[in-house]
Structures are given as C-alpha cells and as structure tokens.
C-alpha cells in the first residue's frame, strides 16, 4: 500500500498563504528594472498563479508525485505549455520564464517547515518531493519555451526569406527578381516559387534575375540559378541574369561554369534594355529641353 504523502494536504490547507507569498515574490521580481515580466499586469499574475496552484494540488492529491507525465498532471502540463509558449512569443528570456516555477519554492518550503518541524523524516521527504516536482515542472516549462522560440525563429526566417525575394513588375510582360545575400538551397526554392507564381499570375514573358546583391557565385549558386531559369522557361518565360561583376565573371570562367546560353548583363539597366528589345520595344533618347 502506498504511503500517504502529506504534501498535498499541506498545500491545500495553506493554499491562500502560499498563493499570497508566491504572488508577492512574482510581483517583486516583476518590478525589477532588469526584467521584462513587469509588462504583465498584476491581475494576470494573480490569475496564473491561482490556476497553477489548483492544478498542482490536484496532482499532489493523486499521489503520483514521481510521474509528471501521467494523466493526473495533464491539466497542469497544458497550462504550463500555453504559458511558456506565450512568454516565448512575447520575447521573454528563459530566466524570466523559468522563475515563475522556481519562485514557488520559498513559500512552499516555509509552510512545509512550519507544519513538519517536529517530524524530521516527513520534513525531509516533503522537501525532497517538492524540490523534485518543481525542478521537473521547470524543465517542462523550458522545453515548451524552447519550442515556442523555435516557432518564432522559424516564422521570422520565413518572413525574411519572403521579403528578401520580391518579384517586381518593371513593365508589361517584364519582371525583375533582385536576389540579396547567399543563395542556398532553401532560398533557391523560395526564389523559384516566387518567380514562377508571379509569371503565372502576370503572364510575363521575360524575367530579369539580378544578382548584384549576391556576394559570391560558385558552382552551387550557378546550379540554383540554372534550375530557376529552366523552370521559368517551362512556364514560357525567358530569363536574363544581371549583376555580373568582374570578380563574378572571373569566378565563372575559373570554375568553367556553363550558364547554358543564358543572357547575362553587368547591370540591371542593361538587362532591362535588352528585355525591352526582346519585347519589341525601343528606348529612344529625347534631347534635353532648354
């Protein structure tokens, strides 16, 4: 038969005092000039701590204090998962997030000490159980927080990739795609998808891929460019690559990279002029007005 753990009863009996002390610890930390948690309203802190303690007591009274993954702790795990993810999305630090759990130790230890002061064995067991539980919950908070941060980083990377591969309509039937930064496999895929989607939407027949902002062109970058050009051709659009600087030209020659008959120009202006000619339009210079 499982020995009755007095911890759940202690927390239940002293719930109001523990809650008050824990909230006080939270708010004192909130007011620190070095923490971002001060942005959280006091009412939200109180509600969060209250809900946590209620679920914590339910888990303790189940007697399953050695398995936080059991169904008895599911409601508390869900609460902490939502809490940690929200903190991650709001830009809080790991320390600020984990402190929510660890600040509960002081109020709990105080009540345990008062209740079990005359029974050293029970006191030791209750403190050990409490410390083990809160450390375990703290680890769960950090795992959920890390997942939330990874979601933020992934979303930001996706947004930056989308912003860094804009397709611009220069003229009817003429598109320009300025590429800035390193053209790796992931960005190459984004570039291709963005260009093909715009070609389909606009029915454009000419696309200029400007690589002025690409720091280096090696064999891998050239392969990415050729795949993009080939895909555009399958969509019925011809491609011109602009931004071929002297050092890039030398690298292409040195690496014996065959661009497969793709038209190249030194500047975007030269590429646009060629695109206009292919579209059957001539650029005529007008004399300056006096």
Domain identity same for 133 and 172: no
Is 151 in the same domain as 18?
Answer: yes
**Signed CA dihedral, 158, 163, 164, 166: sign only:** positive
Identify any residues that bridge with 208 across adjacent strands, giving them in sequence order.
176, 240
Backbone angles phi, psi at 12, to 5 degrees: -65, -45
Band (pLDDT 50/70/90 cuts) for residue 148 is: confident
Compute the average pLDDT of residues 129-156: 89
Give the end-to-end CA distance of the chain in Å, rounded to a whole number. 105
Q: Would you state the pLDDT for residue 1?
A: 35
pLDDT score of 83: 92
pLDDT tens across 87-99, in order? Answer: 888 888 888 899 9
Domain boundary among 127, 157, 187: 157
Residue 162: the pLDDT is 59
Mean pLDDT of 12-20: 93
Give the pLDDT mean for 121-126.
88
How far is residue 93 from each of residues 87, 89, 156, 235, 257, measured CA to CA in Å?
8, 10, 17, 47, 47
Percent of all residues in the chain with a pLDDT value above 90, rounded to a whole number: 43
Residue 101 is predicted with a pLDDT of 94
| pLDDT at 31 (0 to 100) | 64
Domain boundary among 157, 192, 227: 157
Q: Who wins on pLDDT, 52 or 33? A: 52
Residue 107 belongs to a domain with what CATH number?
A: 1.10.490.130
Looking at residue 255, its pLDDT comes to 83
Give the pair of three-digit tokens for residue 261.
């008959």
Average pLDDT over residues 8-33: 85
- State how far the Cα of 193 lies from the Cα of 201, in Å rounded to an integer: 12
Question: Count of domains in the chain?
Answer: 2
Closest by Cα among 170, 173, 164 to 238:
173
pLDDT per position as a tens digit, 180-204? 877 777 778 888 888 999 999 999 9
Q: Are residues 145 and 172 in the same domain?
A: no
Residue numbers of the domain that contains 177: 168-278
- Are 219 and 80 contained in the same domain? no
Residue at 1 is within a domain? no
Q: pTM, whole model, 2 decimals? A: 0.58
CATH code, domain with 259:
3.30.750.24
Distance CA 189, CA 93 (A): 33
């Amino acid at each position: 038969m499982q020995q009755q753990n007095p911890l759940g009863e202690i927390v239940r009996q002293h719930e109001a005092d523990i809650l008050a002390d824990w909230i006080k610890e939270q708010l004192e930390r909130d007011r620190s000039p070095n923490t971002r948690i001060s942005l959280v309203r006091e009412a939200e802190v109180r509600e969060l701590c209250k809900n946590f303690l209620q679920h914590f007591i339910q888990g303790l009274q189940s007697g399953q204090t050695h398995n936080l993954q059991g169904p008895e702790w599911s409601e508390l795990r869900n609460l902490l998962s939502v809490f940690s993810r929200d903190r991650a999305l709001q830009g809080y630090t790991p320390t600020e997030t984990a402190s929510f759990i660890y600040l509960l130790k002081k109020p709990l230890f105080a009540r345990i000490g008062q209740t079990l002061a005359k029974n050293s064995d029970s006191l030791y067991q209750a403190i050990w159980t409490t410390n083990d539980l809160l450390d375990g919950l703290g680890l769960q908070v950090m795992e959920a927080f890390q997942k939330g941060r990874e979601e933020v980083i992934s979303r930001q990377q996706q947004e930056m990739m989308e912003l860094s591969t804009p397709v611009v309509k220069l003229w009817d039937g003429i598109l320009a795609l300025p590429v800035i930064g390193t053209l790796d496999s992931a960005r190459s895929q984004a570039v291709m998808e963005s260009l093909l989607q715009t070609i389909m939407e606009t029915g454009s027949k000419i696309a200029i891929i400007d690589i002025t902002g690409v720091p280096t062109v090696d064999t891998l970058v050239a392969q990415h460019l050729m795949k993009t050009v080939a895909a555009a051709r399958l969509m019925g659009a011809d491609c011109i690559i602009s931004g071929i600087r002297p050092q890039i030209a030398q690298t292409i020659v040195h690496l014996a990279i065959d661009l497969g008959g793709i038209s190249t120009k030194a500047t975007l202006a030269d590429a646009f002029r060629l695109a206009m000619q292919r579209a059957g339009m001539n650029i005529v210079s007008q004399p300056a007005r006096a």
